[in-house]
Amino acid sequence: MQAIILAAGKGTRMGGLTVDTPKPMLLLSGRPLLEWRLMMLPAAISEVVLVIGHLGEQIEHRFGNEWQGLPIRYVQHEQLDGTGGAMRSVYKAGVFNGPALVTMGDDLYRQEDLERLLTFDVAVLACELEDSSRFGLLDTDREGRLQGIIERPHAPGYGLVNTGAYMIDQAYFLCAPVRISETEYGLPQTLALSAQNRPISVLRTRVWQPVGQPEDITLGEAFLERYRLKNINS
């Protein structure tokens, strides 16, 4: 099974940390963030597609065409037009082999949650947070299936947050990418549009660590200390 990791963005919320380093290459507990993402992929993954853009040559130089026996292919995405644009680049490159696991290159997930995603052809992983104000929310129906996306800003408090981890199938590409700003297209918004024609499952977790701003690095290291694979040495 294929895993697609979106790692093209500039990481502007990281400030000076990402001027000369792509965000997925920032160090957490002595390893690049992206390396932790690769370590925590489910065992069923047999190929990785890395979507790279900003300073992407550093990623390609570090990981090459194989990581611990796992083949890696690269898709160049220089437009930086959002996650929806990145997925369109994957499709145009002709490398999509779905259903595929799609995740962000700068978030940390438990392996067991990603393994649960693999049991679906199309689904999204959501995290239940007491303070959801930083993130987009998922709107679900009574059966817990995806209905739509609630954009920021929204009222603070408890919410079902989109973690940026998905199972995506070929039918996703039947929908035109949904524009979310003058320059960006959104993957979750496009997936929500396709939910008008078919059920899309929303899986829930209470464990997820985004790494989107400098203070998240310390939180990410704490996450790794608690949830990383038992067979990974420090």
Q: Delimit the domains of the chain by residue range.
A: 2-224
Residue keyed to tokens 């998240």: 216
Alpha helices in the chain (DSSP H): 33-39, 56-63, 82-93, 111-117, 187-194, 216-227
pLDDT in tens, 117-149: 999 999 999 999 988 888 889 999 999 999 999
State the pLDDT at residue 63. 97
Q: Kindly state the tokens that stand for 218.
A: 């310390």
Q: Which residues of the chain have pLDDT under 70?
A: 153-155, 229-234
Residues 22, 58: contact at Cβ < 8 Å? yes
Rounded Cα gap, residues 23 and 16, in angstroms = 11
State phi, psi for 118 to the nearest 5 degrees: -65, -15
* Cα torsion 217, 28, 228, 115: sign: positive
State the pLDDT at residue 3. 98
State the pLDDT at residue 231. 40
Residue keyed to tokens 């049991």: 119
Q: At what angle do helices 82-93 and 187-194 cross, to 10 degrees?
A: 80
State phi, psi for 229 to the nearest 5 degrees: -60, 140
Q: Is 29 left (phi over 0), alpha (psi -120 to 50) or beta?
A: left
Rounded Cα gap, residues 3 and 166, in angstroms = 10
Give the CATH fold of the 2-224 domain: Spore Coat Polysaccharide Biosynthesis Protein SpsA; Chain A (3.90.550)
State the pLDDT at residue 212. 87
State the pLDDT at residue 230. 43
State the pLDDT at residue 98. 85
At position 8, the amino acid (one-letter code) is A
Q: Cβ neighbours of residue 30 under 8 Å, at least 6 residues apart? A: 234
Rounded Cα gap, residues 134 and 72, in angstroms = 32
Determine if the pTM surpasses 0.85.
Answer: yes
Angle at 219 between CA 218 and CA 225, to 5 degrees: 90
